[in-house]
Amino acid sequence: MNFRKIRLLLSMFIVFCSLAAVHGQSFEVTGVVTNKKTGEALAGASITLKGTTTTTVTNDAGSYSISVPAGSTLVVSFTGLATLERPVSASGVLNFELSENASGTLDDVVVVGYGQQRRNNLTGSIATVNNKALTQSPVADLSNAMIGRVPGIVTKQGSGEPGRDNANIFIRGVSTFSGGTEPLFVVDGIVRTFRDFSQLDANEVETVSVLKDASSAAIFGVRGANGVILVTTKRGKSGKITATYSFNYGFQKVTKFNNNLGSYEYSTLLNEALYNDGLPLAFTNEDIAKFRDGSDPIQYPNTNWQKLVLGGTAPQMQHNLSFSGGSERVKYFASLGYFDQDGLYPSLNYKRYNIRTNLDLQVTKTTKFSIDLSGRLEKRTAPTTGISGIFEHTLRNPPTIVAEYPGVGYAQVGSYVNTLRAIDPAAGYDDTENNTLLTNFQVEQQLPFIKGLSLKGVLAFDKRMNYGKRWTENVYVYTLNPSTNAYDRSAYQNSSLAENYFQNSQTELQGQLNYTNRFGKHGVSALVLLLQQERPQNQFNASRSGYEFSIFDVLSQGPATNTAGVI
What is the pLDDT, as a whole number, of residue 520? 72
State the burial class of residue 527 (Cβ atoms within 10 Å of its Cβ: 0-12, 13-18, 19+). middle
Confidence of residue 302 (pLDDT cuts 50, 70, 90): very high
- For residue 107, pLDDT over 70 is answered with no
Confidence of residue 566 (pLDDT cuts 50, 70, 90): low
- pLDDT tens, position by position, 131-156: 888 888 888 888 888 888 877 788 88
- pLDDT tens, position by position, 108-134: 555 666 666 555 455 556 778 888 888
Distance CA 452, CA 526 (A): 10
Confidence of residue 3 (pLDDT cuts 50, 70, 90): low
Lowest mean pLDDT among 277-281, 382-386, 456-460, 558-562: 558-562
- For residue 345, pLDDT over 60 is answered with yes
More confident residue, 329 or 217: 329
| Polymer length in residues for the chain | 567
- For residue 487, pLDDT over 50 is answered with yes
Nearest C-alpha neighbor of 241 from the set 155, 326, 357, 345: 326
Asked whether the beta carbons of 183 and 228 are under 8 A apart, the reply is: yes
Cβ neighbours of residue 558 closer than 8 Å, sequence gap 6 or more = 497, 544, 545, 546, 547
- Cα 192 to the center of its chain, rounded Å: 14
Distance CA 68, CA 190 (A): 49
Contacts made by residues 99-102, CB under 8 angstroms, sequence distance 24+: 99/36, 99/37, 99/238, 100/37, 100/237, 100/238, 102/237
Asked whether the beta carbons of 401 and 303 are under 8 A apart, the reply is: yes
- For residue 15, pLDDT over 70 is answered with no
The helix/strand count (H/E) of the chain reads as 10, 32
Distance CA 314, CA 297 (A): 29
Asked whether the beta carbons of 150 and 229 are under 8 A apart, the reply is: no
Per-range mean pLDDT, top range of 72-76, 119-123, 491-495 = 72-76
As a whole number of angstroms, the longest Cα–Cα distance in the chain is 129
- For residue 367, pLDDT over 80 is answered with yes
Confidence of residue 1 (pLDDT cuts 50, 70, 90): very low
Helix (H, G, I), strand (E, B) or coil at 80: coil
CATH, domain 109-233, list 3.40.190.10, 2.90.10.10, 2.170.130.10, 3.30.70.3270: 2.170.130.10
Distance CA 379, CA 402 (A): 34
What is the pLDDT, as a whole number, of residue 565? 57
- Cα 358 to the center of its chain, rounded Å: 18
CA 137, 138, 139, 142 torsion-angle sign: positive
Nearest C-alpha neighbor of 258 from the set 410, 397, 388: 397
User: Do the domains 2-98 and 109-233 sit in the same CATH topology, yes or no?
Assistant: no
More confident residue, 49 or 381: 381
What is the pLDDT, as a whole number, of residue 103? 45
pLDDT above 70 as % of the chain = 87
Beta-carbon count within 10 A of 365 CB: 10
More confident residue, 333 or 94: 333
What is the pLDDT, as a whole number, of residue 125? 67
Per-range mean pLDDT, top range of 39-43, 140-144, 242-246, 559-563 = 242-246
Reading phi first (left if > 0) and then psi (alpha if -120 to 50, else beta), residue 144 is in alpha
Helix (H, G, I), strand (E, B) or coil at 110: strand
Tell me how far apart the terminal alpha carbons of the chain are, to the nearest angstrom.
Answer: 116
More confident residue, 150 or 42: 42
Lowest mean pLDDT among 47-51, 267-271, 275-279: 47-51
Q: Over the chain, what is the mean pLDDT?
A: 83
State the burial class of residue 404 (Cβ atoms within 10 Å of its Cβ: 0-12, 13-18, 19+). middle
Lowest mean pLDDT among 39-43, 434-438, 465-469: 39-43
Per-range mean pLDDT, top range of 5-9, 209-213, 558-562 = 209-213
What is the pLDDT, as a whole number, of residue 491? 78
2-98: CATH superfamily:
Carboxypeptidase-like, regulatory domain (2.60.40.1120)
Nearest C-alpha neighbor of 542 from the set 496, 504, 507: 496
Distance CA 51, CA 23 (A): 16
Apex CA 533: angle with CA 529 and CA 534, to 5°? 165
What is the pLDDT, as a whole number, of residue 279? 94
Lowest mean pLDDT among 86-90, 197-201, 229-233: 86-90
Going from the C-alpha of 527 to that of each of 122, 454, 515, the distances in angstroms are 16, 10, 7
Distance CA 153, CA 129 (A): 13
Apex CA 220: angle with CA 114 and CA 235, to 5°? 30
Give strand pairing partners of 504.
464, 537
Cβ neighbours of residue 65 closer than 8 Å, sequence gap 6 or more = 28, 29, 30, 56
Confidence of residue 177 (pLDDT cuts 50, 70, 90): low
Give strand pairing partners of 379.
351, 433
- For residue 8, pLDDT over 60 is answered with no
Nearest C-alpha neighbor of 46 from the set 19, 20, 85: 85
Helix (H, G, I), strand (E, B) or coil at 131: helix
- For residue 176, pLDDT over 50 is answered with no
Return the exposure string of 309-339: e unless at least 16 CB atoms fall within 10 Å of the residue's CB, then b.
bbebebebebbbebebbbeeeebbbbbbbbb
What is the pLDDT, as a whole number, of residue 17? 44
What is the pLDDT, as a whole number, of residue 83? 84
What is the pLDDT, as a whole number, of residue 25? 60
- pLDDT tens, position by position, 499-555: 999 999 999 999 989 888 877 777 788 888 888 989 999 998 988 888 877 777 888
Beta-carbon count within 10 A of 411 CB: 22
Structural domain boundaries of the chain? 2-98, 109-233, 244-255+304-566
Distance CA 106, CA 440 (A): 21
- For residue 104, pLDDT over 50 is answered with no
Crossing angle of helices 285-293 and 263-276, in 10° steps, is 160
Asked whether the beta carbons of 120 and 79 are under 8 A apart, the reply is: yes
What is the pLDDT, as a whole number, of residue 65? 86
Give strand pairing partners of 332.
325, 359
- For residue 51, pLDDT over 80 is answered with no
